[in-house]
Chain A
Amino acid sequence: MGVMGINWFKYSSPQAFYPLAGKLAPYFLGAAALLAMVGLYVSFFVAPTDFQQGEAYRIIFVHVPAAWMSMFIYLVMAGWAAVGLALNARLSFMMAQALAPTGAMFTFLALVTGALWGKPMWGAWWVWDARLTSELILLFLYIGYMALQAAIEDVRRADRASALFALVGAVNVPIIYFSVKWWNTLHQGASVSLTKAPAMAAVMLWGMLVMALSFWAYTIAVALLRVRCVIAEREREAAWMSED
């Protein structure tokens, strides 16, 4: 069977995807736990103590992957929103909806761990650095998306309106990032440079990558479980729902 022979849209129906999501989620959850154990072991016991920052630097093993995920999940969410608008696929909107809380959670986690790291390093919980500020704005965008989705009663309109907002936000993210960067260089107050990070030991990089993979698996698992909830809520009247 060639590429054309495969039915690419088989799992685009909620009915077909619901059991598949249920089957896949435990594997990703297991992978997330396993990778997190390895990653945390590397970050706490294998990675050497940083000679400048001491032990406090170890929070970056959570902070950096969380920040990566926060931005990546927004892109994936906007991608599902675009697919949903273009192909009129209900499941795509549900995936976008399922991803948003996890993305907001990682954004919040990145901000909190950043503050915890910043206090011993910079002596301040919060610095108006370009990256911190754009991360905060990203959190606002996630909250706006979820608020819009929750405020509209009609599910069809809620899906489309929030998808449109996610896309508008995605177009704006680079503009916001560069404007904040420009603003930051204009107001050279407390000058803290995150960009000139010292060359990192390979072990540290590996620890971070393993943690990132763990977060990745966790995101997929949670999104699958959440999309099952969304499907169950929306299709509760459907005949196939009451069958099993």
Chain B
Amino acid sequence: MKTLHILRWLLQRDIQLVFRRRSDLVSTLFFFVIAVSLFPLGVGAEPALLRAIGPGVLWVAALLSAMLSLSRLFAADHADGTLEQLLLSPVPLTLVVGVKVLAHWLVSGLPLALLAPLLGLQFDLAARDLGVLTLSLLLGTPLLSLIGAIGAALTLGVRGAGVLLAVLVLPLYIPVLIFGAGAVAASATGMDPAAGLSLLGALLALGVVFAPLAAAAALRLSIE
């Protein structure tokens, strides 16, 4: 039970640390809101056009804001030496990474998913589409955190890590974007969104198993 105890402590600690510095969390959310609001200003406020681009815009903006907060996933722990202590602890590193990703998702991905329907109203999306949007983000944002953890671990402590992280991670995000935005677009055009949502769920199942393994391996490389 010691393992579970440590993991629960880690989850609480990570969330608490974020809440001690709420500005990081809030600015990521505001980036999401601002990025989404820029699109109508750029392409025009034609309702039919907005309805067509809405799902894609919301998803791309969610992708970018999820990426912004990734560098914080391990950086602070790396800087103050906590990460080395976690590596030395008896708990498997894969589980440690999994819990850190969960904590990261709870404070970055989950608020995005809950905020998205409000922004969807700006794009004149119907109530059913807003539900599908939230569901697709609830399935998709954990995946973004999981894949992002691999990139964050690979670029830990590297010069110019921010841009490099984007170059590494964004191509890997493409399937998530396609299935997520595809499900919402399918719902908006009167088709069944189940296919996209099921595929997102399948990817999430794969990601939960394999991404922490890869991220843990990458973390070991950056510490040794």
Q: Which residues of A contact B (CB under 8 A)?
A: 137, 140-141, 143-144, 147-148, 151-153, 157, 160-161, 164-165, 167-169, 171-172, 175-176, 179-180, 182-183, 186
Write out the residue numbers on chain A whose beta carbons fall within 8 Å of the beta carbon of B121.
none
Measured in the bound complex, the distance between the Cα atoms of B160 and A35 in whole Å is 43
Contact among B160, B178, B210, B221 for A164, CB-based, below 8 A: B221
Once the chains bind, are B172 and A168 in contact (CB under 8 Å)? Answer: yes
Is B186 engaged at the interface, CB distance under 8 Å to the other chain?
yes
Which of B170, B174, B185, B224 has the most chain A CB within a 10 Å cutoff? B174
Write out the residue numbers on chain A whose beta carbons fall within 8 Å of the beta carbon of B164.
147-148, 151
CB of A132, distance to nearest CB on chain B (Å): 14
Query: Given the interface contacts A144-B168, A164-B154, does A151 sit within 8 Å of B221 by beta carbon?
Result: no
Query: Given the interface contacts A141-B171, A151-B164, A164-B221, does A186 sit within 8 Å of B154 by beta carbon?
Result: no
Measured in the bound complex, the distance between the Cα atoms of B173 and A141 in whole Å is 12
Write out the residue numbers on chain A whose beta carbons fall within 8 Å of the beta carbon of B217.
164
Give residues of chain B (55-82) contacting chain A, Cβ–Cβ below 8 Å: none
Is B182 engaged at the interface, CB distance under 8 Å to the other chain?
yes
CB of B152, distance to nearest CB on chain A (Å): 12
Once the chains bind, are B154 and A165 in contact (CB under 8 Å)? Answer: yes
Number of A-B contacts (CB under 8 A): 72
Q: Which residues of B contact A (CB under 8 A)?
A: 150, 154-155, 158-161, 164, 167-168, 170-172, 174-175, 178-179, 182, 185-186, 199, 203, 210, 214, 217-218, 221-222, 224
Interface of B is mostly: helix
The 8 A-B pairs of least Cβ separation, nearest first, read A179-B175, A140-B171, A183-B178, A179-B178, A144-B168, A160-B221, A161-B154, A151-B158
Write out the residue numbers on chain A whose beta carbons fall within 8 Å of the beta carbon of B186.
186
11 interchain pairs, CB-CB under 8 A: A140-B171, A147-B167, A147-B168, A148-B168, A151-B164, A161-B222, A164-B150, A164-B217, A172-B172, A182-B178, A182-B182
Measured in the bound complex, the distance between the Cα atoms of B151 and A147 in whole Å is 12
Measured in the bound complex, the distance between the Cα atoms of B173 and A180 in whole Å is 12
CB of B26, distance to nearest CB on chain A (Å): 30
Once the chains bind, are B174 and A161 in contact (CB under 8 Å)? Answer: no
Once the chains bind, are B203 and A175 in contact (CB under 8 Å)? Answer: yes
Sample of 15 more A-B contacts, CB < 8 Å, known A143-B167, A147-B164: A144-B168, A148-B154, A148-B155, A151-B160, A153-B159, A157-B222, A160-B221, A164-B154, A164-B214, A165-B154, A165-B168, A168-B172, A171-B210, A172-B172, A182-B182
